[in-house]
Amino acid sequence: MARFRKRQREAYDYITADWSEHDRLELARLLVRYVDSLAALNERGPAKDGER
């Protein structure tokens, strides 16, 4: 698992090397929001047809 995290961090650093600090922080904020939404969706259970 540590190797996976290291590889992900290296990829992030490489991809965002020329991004501003603001853009890096915005990406982090949106990723946290996305993960929180996934957690909420998992807690809610499967959606019924037509529900969102």
What are the extents of the domains in the chain? Answer: 19-52
Could you tell me which residues come within 8 angstroms of residue 23 by beta carbon, excluding any fewer than 6 positions away?
16
Residue with tokens 């807690």: 43
pLDDT digits 0-9 by tens, 10-29: 999 999 999 999 999 999 99
d(CA 47, CA 18): 40
Alpha-carbon distance of 38 to 46, in angstroms, equals 12
Question: How far is 50 from 48, CA to CA, in rounded Å?
Answer: 6
Residue 29, pLDDT score: 97
Q: Report if pTM > 0.75.
A: no
Over residues 37-50, the pLDDT tens digits come to: 999 988 887 666 66
